Amino acid sequence: MRAYAGLFRRELLLAVRQGGEIGLVLGFFVLAVVLFPLGVGPEAEVLRRIGAGIVWVAALLAAVLSLDRLFAADYADGTLDLLALSAMPLEGVAAAKCAAHWATTGLPLTLISPCLAALVDLEAQATVLLALGLLIGTPALSLLGAIVAALTLGARRPGILSSLLVLPLYLPVLIFGAGAVEAGIAGTGARPHLLLLGAVTVAALPLAPVAAAAALRQALD
Amino acid sequence: MFAYLANPARFMRVSGRAWRFVAASGIAALAIGLYLALAVAPPDYQQGESVRIMFVHVPSAILAEGVYYLIALASFVALVWRHPLADVAAQAAAPIGAAFTLVCLATGSLWGKPMWGAWWVWDARLTSVLVLFFLYLGYIALVNAFEDPARGARAGAVLALVGVIDLPIIKFSVNWWNTLHQPASILRMGGPTIDRSMLVPLLVMTLAFVLLFAALLLLRMRATLNERKARALRLAAPPRRADPVSTGAAPVLR
């Protein structure tokens, strides 16, 4: 447990001190949302209708963009080999890195999402649902992303490859997350969507570190 | 049988005889099936002649999904028992499965234009087949993304297993999404039962597709093994004087 906390702390420190990586992801997230009104027009009606979907798609893309931070640097400089040699199981390494990745991408995205909801003219209730959905769903993005990030270590063009691999896996999160806001606006009840979103995260929580560790093992062979 | 065929040399011997037989029976079944589907089967009372697209569409849809499960099964065998041919089978099956998925999408689109009045509708089933196509593409891209083919094989195996766990979840979520958006207009083919005059050609076509898939799979596996043998021989041969002119290109070392 101490090793887990230590690794988590190391990842957080690296993310914070290594030249504003959190800021880059957040900047991309905001910019991606801002592009949509410029593309589809500024009518509040249209934006309100598609706003939640826009924010969720932007969150997905921001998560994909930050995946290479999970393992790539540690793979390149050999830290990952040392972590594999340590007493901590690779599943634990993957879980700690997922937690840190979520704390530096999913959590900031969730915290800033009310501002973006204002940009696309969502009402207060829809804003709460959007933030709640992101809070529940973004851990799944980090967990599923860790599998793909580990699989593409050492591949040619890992960035474009990992987005091709991971976006189909993200589909349920997008559907339940954006669906929750939509159902909230339509008044049909957002609860089942949020519960299903939670189910995806809860299922990914134990399974994804195992798969990511398997992928790491074959990358380090 | 799997343990018996674990020896690639033995597999080459057996498959060399088997694939011709499988391919011949597949072509025969395809000929019979096409005749039944195009000439014997009656036009549908609602869909008219365009119902005949179904005789290609449904078998390719069955194989599109079936081949992905086969890849996942082969990947599992490769990861757990390190069966030397399981990786080869999984990689050889992937482009064929992707082709079946594409055929399924294309024929569905051709059928949808006269029937639904649109090349594409965001129906749950269409969407999940499209996602399946991207899963195939991702698998093929990942397998080929590494300098070391063994590394690509193992990465692909892990991805196939992740994909096969996620596939039902994706299908469920897409169903959920679709019923939310257009609950009343779910489009279904025909009635709940299918008449025997159409069922028989459909079954023959499905059999033909399965046999042709098996023949292509064996052929591709044999090609992969021959390629490996050729590469091993090339690497084992004494180094020759580099002669890029006569070969037409720089020698490729992998």
What is the mean predicted confidence (pLDDT) over A75-89? 88
Q: Label residue B244 by pLDDT band (50, 70, 90).
A: low
Paired tokens of A145: 């992303």
> Which residue of B169, B170, B172, B179 is the best one to mutate when testing the A interface, meaning the one whose CB has the most A CBs within 10 A?
B169
Residue range B104-151, pLDDT digits in tens = 999 988 888 887 788 888 877 888 899 999 999 999 999 999 988 888
Task: Show residues of chain A in contact with B172, CB under 8 Å.
Answer: 172
- What residues are paired with B44 via a beta bridge? B48
Q: What is the three-class DSSP state of B220?
A: helix
Q: What is the three-class DSSP state of B121?
A: coil
Is A181 in contact with A121 (CB distance < 8 Å)?
Answer: no
| pLDDT surpassing 60 at residue B184 | no
DSSP-H helix ranges across A66-190: 68-77, 79-85, 90-101, 107-119, 124-151, 158-186
Q: Are the beta carbons of B170 and A168 separated by less than 8 Å?
A: yes
Q: CA A7 → CA A11, A86, A93, A140, A148, distances in Å?
A: 6, 12, 7, 20, 20
DSSP for A23-75?
HHHHHHHHHHHHHHHHHH-S-HHHHHHHHHHHHHHHHHHHHHHTTHHHHHHHH
> Which residue of B133, B161, B177, B181 is the best one to mutate when testing the A interface, meaning the one whose CB has the most A CBs within 10 A?
B177
Rg (CA), chain A: 18
| pLDDT surpassing 70 at residue B192 | no
Task: Show residues of chain B in contact with A175, CB under 8 Å.
Answer: 173-174, 176-177
| pLDDT surpassing 90 at residue B247 | no
What is the mean predicted confidence (pLDDT) over A135-148? 95
Cα–Cα distance measured from residue B6 to residue B1, given in angstroms and rounded to the nearest whole number: 9
Which pLDDT value is given to residue B72?
95
> Which residue of A147, A151, A185 is the best one to mutate when testing the B interface, meaning the one whose CB has the most B CBs within 10 A?
A151
Q: Measured in whole angstroms, how far is the alpha carbon of residue B217 from the centre of its chain?
A: 9
Q: Are the beta carbons of B158 and A152 separated by less than 8 Å?
A: no
> Which residue of A152, A157, A165, A216 is the best one to mutate when testing the B interface, meaning the one whose CB has the most B CBs within 10 A?
A165
The DSSP output letter for B48 is B
Which of B141, B163, B176 faces A161 most closely, judged by CB atoms?
B141
Q: Which residue of A has its CA nearest to B168?
A: A172
Q: Are the beta carbons of A218 and B169 separated by less than 8 Å?
A: no
Neighbouring residues of B44: CB distance < 8 A, sequence distance ≥ 6: B51, B190, B198
Paired tokens of A48: 């309100």
The DSSP output letter for B229 is H
B-contacting residues of A 192-211, CB under 8 Å?
A: 196, 200, 203, 207, 211
Is A168 in contact with B138 (CB distance < 8 Å)?
Answer: yes
Which of B142, B170, B174 faces A151 most closely, judged by CB atoms?
B142
| pLDDT surpassing 70 at residue B186 | no
For the ranges A15-19, B95-99, B237-241, the one whose mean pLDDT is highest: B95-99
Which pLDDT value is given to residue A121?
85
Is A176 part of the contact surface with chain B (CB cutoff 8 Å)? yes
Task: Show residues of chain B in contact with A211, CB under 8 Å.
Answer: 158, 161-162
Q: Which residue has the tokens 């569905």?
A: B108
Neighbouring residues of B102: CB distance < 8 A, sequence distance ≥ 6: B133
- Cα angle at A51 between A198 and B124, to 5 degrees? 60
Q: Are the beta carbons of A218 and B154 separated by less than 8 Å?
A: yes
Residue range B75-114, pLDDT digits in tens = 999 989 888 889 999 999 999 999 999 999 999 888 888 8
Neighbouring residues of B105: CB distance < 8 A, sequence distance ≥ 6: B126, B129, B130, B133
Q: Are the beta carbons of A164 and B134 separated by less than 8 Å?
A: yes
Which of A183, A203, A211 faces B162 most closely, judged by CB atoms?
A211
Q: Label residue A194 by pLDDT band (50, 70, 90).
A: very high
Is A154 part of the contact surface with chain B (CB cutoff 8 Å)? yes
Task: Show residues of chain B in contact with A218, CB under 8 Å.
Answer: 151, 154-155, 158
- Percent of chain A residues past pLDDT 90, beyond the cut: 55
Is A68 in contact with A159 (CB distance < 8 Å)?
Answer: yes
Angstroms from B77 CA to nearest CA on chain A: 15
Neighbouring residues of B192: CB distance < 8 A, sequence distance ≥ 6: none
Cα–Cα distance measured from residue B110 to residue B118, given in angstroms and rounded to the nearest whole number: 9
Q: Which residue has the tokens 């720089």?
A: B250
| pLDDT surpassing 70 at residue B253 | no
Cα–Cα distance measured from residue A100 to residue A114, given in angstroms and rounded to the nearest whole number: 22
Number of A–B residue contacts, CB under 8 Å:
85
Neighbouring residues of B178: CB distance < 8 A, sequence distance ≥ 6: B122, B123, B124, B127, B186
Is B77 part of the contact surface with chain A (CB cutoff 8 Å)? no
